[in-house]
Amino acid sequence: MILALVVSSLPMGAQEKPDTPETTSSTTPVGASACCSDTGRSVSLSQLPKNILDDQKEIWLFPTKLAKGKHIWPTLAVVGITGGFVASDPYSTPPFRNTTSFSGFNRVLSSTTTGAFIAAVPAAMYGIGWIRKDSYAQETALLAGEAFADGFLIDLPLKAITGRREPLSYTGSGPYSDSFFNGTHNPVHSGGFYSVHAMGAMAVASVIARRYRSHRWVPFVAYGLAGAISFSRITRSDHFPADVFLGGAMGFVIARYAVLPQRE
C-alpha cells in the first residue's frame, strides 16, 4: 500500500510546476543543494539539521509574535478547542475505554504499525525519488521528515512537564479528571500530551498534500490516512481526545507554516 501510494504520485510529482518561474526543482541534479520552490531555501540531507534548528528558533519565539498581536485568533481557537476537549475527558473517554467495537480497527492500526507507516511513507518517497532522479520527491520526503522532527522536539518537553496519564491506565469509568501531573514524566513514554502519532501523521500528510496539491486525490488520501491514524489513538485508549487534537493541530501548523512557510 505504501509503495502503491508513493509510486502512483511520483510520476506526476516530477512534473509539478514550481511557484517561482526562475527555478524548476525537477531539473535540479540529485545531490545538488536544490532550492525547493515551495520553501525558498536549500533542502538536502546535509542542510536538514540546520533547517530544523532554524525552525525550532522560529517555533519557540512564537510567543513574541503573540505579544505583538499576531496570530491571536487562530491561537485562541486551538487553545480553546483543546481546553474544551480536556474538560470533556470524564465524558468522552469512557465510551472508548469500555467497548470492544473497535478491536479490529485497533489491531490493524496498532502503535507499531502506524509508527512504521508514518516513517515509511517519506522514506519510500525519498528512495524512489533517488532511483528515478526526481529531486522534487526527495525534497518532499526531507521536508516531511523535518516537520516530524520539529513536532517531536516540541513534544518532548511538553510531555516531561505535563506528565499526563494514558486513558489505558484507568479502569472502567475513570475518573479521568486527574490525568495531568499524575503520570510518568518520561518524555518518551506512551501516551502523554500531545500525541506524537497524530502530530507525525498530520505533519507528513500536510507536506505531501501541499507539495502535490495540483493532484486533487492526494490531499484526500493523505489527510484521510492521517485522520484514521489519529482516531486510532483514541479508540486504543492510548490518548485522550485533547492529546490527539492538539497533536494533529501542531503537525499541521508546523508543516504548513514553519517548514512550508509563505516564502513561495
Half-sphere exposure of 198 (CA within 13 A, CB side): 28
Is 30 a member of any domain?
Answer: no
Half-sphere exposure of 238 (CA within 13 A, CB side): 21
Angle at 252 between CA 248 and CA 253, to 5 degrees: 115
Is 7 a member of any domain?
Answer: no
Is 49 a member of any domain?
Answer: yes
User: What's the CA gap between 22 and 40, in Å, rounded?
Assistant: 11
**Which structural domain, as residue segments, surrounds residue 237?**
37-259
Answer yes or no: is pLDDT of 10 > 90.
no
Q: How confident is the model at residue 24 (pLDDT cuts 50, 70, 90)?
A: very low
β-bridge partners, 43: 34
pLDDT value, residue 44: 87
User: What's the CA gap between 43 and 51, in Å, rounded?
Assistant: 8
Answer yes or no: is pLDDT of 242 > 90.
yes
pLDDT value, residue 15: 43
Dihedral sign for Cα atoms in the order 161, 61, 75, 152 = negative
Is 135 a member of any domain?
Answer: yes
Number of H helices, E strands in the chain: 12, 2
Q: CA 129 → CA 11, 83, 137, 243, 255, distances in Å?
A: 10, 42, 5, 34, 21
Q: Where are the beta strands (DSSP E) in the chain?
A: 34-35, 42-43
pTM of the shown model: 0.83
Q: What is the mean pLDDT of the chain?
A: 85
Percent of the chain with pLDDT over 90: 68
The alpha carbon of residue 89 and the mean position of all alpha carbons in its chain are separated, in whole angstroms, by 23
Mean pLDDT of 120-144: 95
Q: Say which CATH number the domain at 89 has.
A: 1.20.144
Q: How confident is the model at residue 175 (pLDDT cuts 50, 70, 90)?
A: confident
Is 42 a member of any domain?
Answer: yes
The number of distinct structural domains making up the chain is 1
Is 231 a member of any domain?
Answer: yes
